[in-house]
Chains A and B, each alone.
Chain A
């Protein structure tokens, strides 16, 4: 992967496949450290399965025999001297946490995380997403549940709404970067 935001897209697909209805994506930047957390309320995994998903030759899919998503993400975190963790409870959900040391030579750029979040929301208007972004002391939260309460029957992927969403993400991120 060229940027970590693409890994996030990939990891969230696992949550969607696991039947999650609420998915939280947190991206926290502190000095020399980037933490990405994806939490879902999907069907979860047993202890045994959790051990297996870091093995590239384990996958639940049937179209091919290799599952690279989790192993890639783990490798990218550990390459920087960071860490990777999966916590999961059967029938409750899964939490994937990856920590990166941003000053390391092998650190990949975060990339366009807003594009990832925007696409996930637009393509899955029935799911609820919570996006939490923090840079230093500043943060913002986007909760699609709140947007749906305002929008009523109008879907999140209606053209005018998705444009608003895109601009909103851009503006909020700019504020975090100091306007």
Chain B
């Protein structure tokens, strides 16, 4: 049974782990469009997949956030990956499986998954 006491234990464990987590300002941000259009197109499982995959891999220097409608509703679910010092990458028509691939290829290995980008869709 999950209890609040257990949460206390988690706090102490995490506190011990968080020694040096500096340099938060240059971390990668993943923005998932969660307006009506995005949600209706299936953005929630995509967002969940990103969080789950990052947790599974123990990646803590990536911030996953929601964003509103950016005006390209026909391409939802839309995900933007913002890496400081690099061009923003916009992925379109995302699925949970594609989210896992983006984490593996793009976030971990630094290779943009070209075929999922808006550029590949509008050619």
Contact of A9 among B14, B44, B73 (CB under 8 A): B44
Chain A positions near chain B (C-beta within 8 angstroms): 1, 6, 9-10, 13, 17, 61, 63-64, 67-69, 72, 115-116, 119, 122-124, 146-147, 150-152, 154, 158-164, 167-168, 171
Distance in angstroms between the alpha carbons of A72 and B1 in the assembled complex: 38
- Tell me whether chain A's interface is mostly helix, strand or loop, or mixed: helix
Q: Are B11 and A123 closer than 8 Å at their CB atoms? A: no
B102 within 8 A of A: no
> Looking at A1, A13, A122, which has the most chain B CB atoms within 10 Å of its CB?
A13
Q: Closest residue of chain A to B5, judged by CB? A: A150
Centre residue among A68, A116, A119, A122 by max chain B CB count within 10 A? A119
B1 A171 Cβ-Cβ under 8 A: yes
Interface residues of B (CB under 8 A from A): 1-2, 4, 6-8, 10-11, 13-15, 18, 34-37, 39-40, 44, 47-48, 51, 55, 58, 60, 64-66, 68-71, 73
Please name the residue on chain B nearest to A7 by beta carbon. Answer: B39
Chain A residues with CB below 8 A from B40, complex form: 1, 6
Q: Which 9 A-B pairs have the closest CB atoms?
A: A63-B71, A168-B2, A69-B36, A159-B55, A68-B36, A160-B10, A154-B14, A6-B39, A167-B2
Listed residue (B4, B34, B60) with the most chain A CB atoms within 10 angstroms of its CB:
B34
Assembly CA distance A115 to B58 (angstroms): 21
14 extra interface residue pairs, beta carbon distance < 8 Å, beyond A115-B44, A119-B47: A1-B39, A6-B40, A9-B34, A13-B35, A63-B70, A69-B35, A69-B36, A150-B11, A154-B11, A159-B55, A160-B13, A161-B7, A161-B11, A161-B14
**CB neighbours of A115 from chain B (8 A):** 44, 48
Residues of A close to B34: CB separation below 8 A: 9-10, 13
Give the contacting residue for B10; candidates A6, A61, A68, A164; CB below 8 A.
A164
Q: Which residues of A contact B47 (CB under 8 A)?
A: 119, 123
> Known interface pairs A64-B71, A123-B47, A151-B11. Does A13 touch B66 (Cβ–Cβ under 8 Å)?
yes
State A13–B47 Cα separation when bound (angstroms): 15
Residues of A close to B6: CB separation below 8 A: 164
